[in-house]
Amino acid sequence: MSSISKSEKAYIQSSLLSDPPLRADGRGLTDFRTVALESGVAPLANGSARVSIGRNAYDGGGGTEVVAAAKLEVETVGDGEGVDGGRVVCSVSCSPTAYPLLSSNALDDLQHDMTSLLHATLSHPTIRPQNLCILPGKKSWLLNLDVIIFSDAGNIFDAIFMAARAALWDTKVPRTRSVQYRAKKSDRKDATQAMDVDEATHTGSALDTRETVQVSDFELPDYWDEGEPLDGRQTWPVCLTLNLLPTSHFLDATLQEEASVPLKLLVLYSFQSDTPPLLRSMRLLGTGVSDLVQVKSLLKDGEKYARIVWTALEGKLKDEDLRRNQKARERFLNR
Amino acid sequence: MAQSAGDRRRINGPEESFSPVFDDDEEDIKLKTQRSRAAGDIRPIFLQPGLISQANGSAYIETDKTKIACAVYGPRQTKTTTYSEKGRLNVEVKFTPFSCMRRRAPIRDAEDRSLAVSIHQAIVSSIRLELFPKSTIDVFITIIENDGIEGCIASASVAASTALADAGIEMLGLVSACSAAIVGDDIHLDPSEAEARASSGTVILACMPALDNVTSVWQSGHMTADMALKCMERCHERCIDIHSIVAQSLLEHRTAA
């Protein structure tokens, strides 16, 4: 996003291409800056996370800062855009402080582009969680995933998807119980005395052969936790941005490095134990050109790096789960 | 930019509109997704450069039910006063209100930026923008009929590249693009809307066959990396065929004029 002079571009490019490659902060080509992640940062959301890449360890400044939060809403199926089985809607908004040099129009365009990639990847029907359905054919959850960029110090796409994955991992879907109103047999004549009947208290007689399981509404049972995690939360992908130089590539670019490479390849992978790694999205961005042979080798390398990011993220998310549930409970008991 | 409110000066359609619902049974859906062509075949292409006389260059492309018109204006002076060393490429995509199953209200959602971005990505590296400092090349694309967004992006990229050539703008090579969808275990090239909906993943590849370059790859849905590569290779083969169609249509247009 930052505009740098031609000579600075050439300087950065030639040092990246030199042997051994040199980067301003002393990292290797495939090294990441420190990534910090915290989940549950927004108490009113159903799931949230905050990711920062490359934050300065001394004063906590600098770095790419992204917050993602998921909010669930009940939606009637067939009414407007509601679909059976629920849906996921994503949005990215950029705080003007992250891009002080951009005009408001350019900022709108930028967040629209980010939104379209996030939405296209995460709301694809093949990745939709199974438990967004409340009443089949009637009500479902609409999952709104909102990502806010507070500052951008490079590698924004990786940060967005990391935050999105962590927020979705953290999301709890409230438990629901189907409810049906049915007149008691003895009260049939007095239809005004409808009763609230649950599955447990079945009052239909054995002679009543009509199978009319017509669930009409749902209620939220009062329970001690916030609900169940989203189904298939392991499947949410991680993003990896490969910045392409003529002969090599590097990861986790800073703003200056981003401005001095013409082309980058975004690959989004999800890894599951039982299936081979799946490519969830791939985009070539920039003004340069590539070729099939290069893309092939990049995909292979990308998979390797993405698996490392995936493993690290998975470990951190499990740690966060532990910190926020088990350890919090122990702390409460040992007060 | 899309406006939130409608234009008061024009007769606006109803607030909301619904596409007719036909009660398709399983058979009908199967028939719709069934292809009349082989998995590796693309829809026949009709390409005509120079249809819009007031534009510097233009092209009209028709692939079965997808119909797209494209006009190129420029290179002309950039309106803003800021100096730019390289030329700017500006791509705008508009849908006609009747182009999709559901009516697209004019102004409000007839402009699609994500399509424009993907077409921009496909053609930007083919143009020698360093030759046009301080100037802008405007590419206006109108989608008259839409049958699958993947096909639209691919066809619009081809049309845009043809129109740029027709306008006499210096390029490194002609861009051709092709899409593929994975339906079951098969790769179907150039999927229609119904096929794309039934697929588990799609790939759009744009390349310059003359230079053996890839300018854009857009993949969505899920597939293994090997499958994605296979899709890209198949698309690349078709792109070479499309390239000869583009070259031929440009040649015919020149000799006729």
The residue in chain A having the minimum alpha-carbon distance to the alpha carbon of residue B172 is A289
Higher pLDDT among residues B20 and B157, named by residue = B157
Q: Binning pLDDT at 50, 70 and 90, where does residue B26 land?
A: low
* pLDDT value for A251: 94
Q: Say what percent of chain A tops pLDDT 90.
A: 55
Q: What is the mean pLDDT of residues B136-154?
A: 94
pTM: 0.87
Question: Which residues of chain A neighbour B129 with C-beta distances below 8 Å?
Answer: 287
The residue in chain A having the minimum alpha-carbon distance to the alpha carbon of residue B175 is A289
Cα A250 from chain centroid?
24
Structure tokens at B172: 């490194």
Give the strands of the sheet with A249-250, arranged side by side. Answer: A249-250, A238-244, A263-270, A278-286, B213-224, B201-208, B176-183, B186-189
Q: What is the mean pLDDT of residues B4-19?
A: 72
Q: Under an 8 A CB cutoff, do A282 and B214 touch?
A: no
**Interface contact B216, partner A, CB < 8 A:** yes
Q: Under an 8 A CB cutoff, do A124 and B124 touch?
A: no
Query: The complex's ipTM?
Result: 0.85
**In terms of Cα–Cα distance, which of A232, A227, A48 is closest to A125?**
A232
Q: Binning pLDDT at 50, 70 and 90, where does residue B27 land?
A: low
Structure tokens at B247: 């070259």
Q: Binning pLDDT at 50, 70 and 90, where does residue B2 land?
A: very low
* pLDDT value for A215: 73
Question: What is the least distance, in Å, from the CA of B246 to any CA of chain A?
Answer: 21
**In terms of Cα–Cα distance, which of A119, A66, A69 is closest to A89?**
A119
Question: Which of A257-266, A270-279, A318-327, B104-113 shows the lowest mean pLDDT across its residues?
Answer: B104-113
* pLDDT value for A179: 82
Q: Could you tell me which residues of chain A have a Cβ less than 8 Å from any Cβ in chain B? A: 105, 108-109, 112-113, 116, 120-121, 124, 126-127, 265, 270, 276-292, 294-296, 299-300, 303
Question: Which residues of chain B neighbour A124 with C-beta distances below 8 Å?
Answer: 220-222
* pLDDT value for A324: 84
**In terms of Cα–Cα distance, which of B67, B60, B65 is closest to B96?**
B67
Tell me the three state secondary structure of residue A299: helix
The residue in chain B having the minimum alpha-carbon distance to the alpha carbon of residue A79 is B18
Average pLDDT, chain A: 86
Which position has the token pair 């996030």? A118
Q: Under an 8 A CB cutoff, do B229 and A296 touch?
A: yes
Contact A68, A166 (CB under 8 A): yes
* pLDDT value for B35: 75
Cα A258 from chain centroid?
23
Question: Which residues of chain A neighbour B84 with C-beta distances below 8 Å?
Answer: none
* pLDDT value for A193: 47
The pLDDT of residue B1 is above 50: no
Question: Which of B57-71, B89-103, B211-225 shows the lowest mean pLDDT across its residues?
Answer: B89-103
Contact B13, B107 (CB under 8 A): no
The pLDDT of residue B197 is above 90: no
**Interface contact B179, partner A, CB < 8 A:** no
Task: Give residue-wise pLDDT tens across range A69-107.
Answer: 999 999 888 766 777 888 999 999 999 999 998 899 899
**Interface contact B228, partner A, CB < 8 A:** yes
Q: Under an 8 A CB cutoff, do B229 and A285 touch?
A: no
**Interface contact B37, partner A, CB < 8 A:** no
Question: Which residues of chain A neighbour B121 with C-beta distances below 8 Å?
Answer: 284-286
* pLDDT value for B6: 65
Q: What is the mean pLDDT of residues A271-290?
A: 90
Higher pLDDT among residues A188 and B204, named by residue = B204
Q: Binning pLDDT at 50, 70 and 90, where does residue B31 land?
A: low
The pLDDT of residue A252 is above 90: yes
Task: Give residue-wise pLDDT tens across range A169-215.
Answer: 999 998 888 887 776 666 555 544 444 544 444 444 445 445 455 67
* pLDDT value for A226: 75
Question: Which residues of chain B neighbour A109 with C-beta distances below 8 Å?
Answer: 113
The pLDDT of residue A15 is above 70: yes
Q: Under an 8 A CB cutoff, do A116 and B117 touch?
A: yes
Q: What is the mean pLDDT of residues A274-285?
A: 91
**Interface contact B220, partner A, CB < 8 A:** yes
* pLDDT value for A68: 97
Residue ranges of domains in chain A, CATH in brackets: 6-183+213-333 (3.30.230.70)
The pLDDT of residue A60 is above 80: no
Q: What is the mean pLDDT of residues B56-85?
A: 91
The residue in chain B having the minimum alpha-carbon distance to the alpha carbon of residue A304 is B225
Higher pLDDT among residues B201 and B7, named by residue = B201
Q: Under an 8 A CB cutoff, do B221 and A126 touch?
A: yes
Handedness of CA A38, A44, A45, A46 (dihedral sign): positive
Residue ranges of domains in chain B, CATH in brackets: 37-256 (3.30.230.70)
E strand map for chain A: 35-39, 47-53, 64-76, 87-94, 133-135, 139-151, 172-173, 177-182, 195-197, 217-219, 228-229, 238-244, 249-250, 263-270, 278-286
Q: Could you tell me which residues are beta bridge partners of residue B183?
A: B186
Task: Give residue-wise pLDDT tens across range A108-136.
Answer: 999 999 999 999 999 888 888 888 888 88
Question: Which residues of chain B neighbour A279 with C-beta distances below 8 Å?
Answer: 201, 219, 222-225, 228
Prior bond of B75 cis (ω within 30°): yes
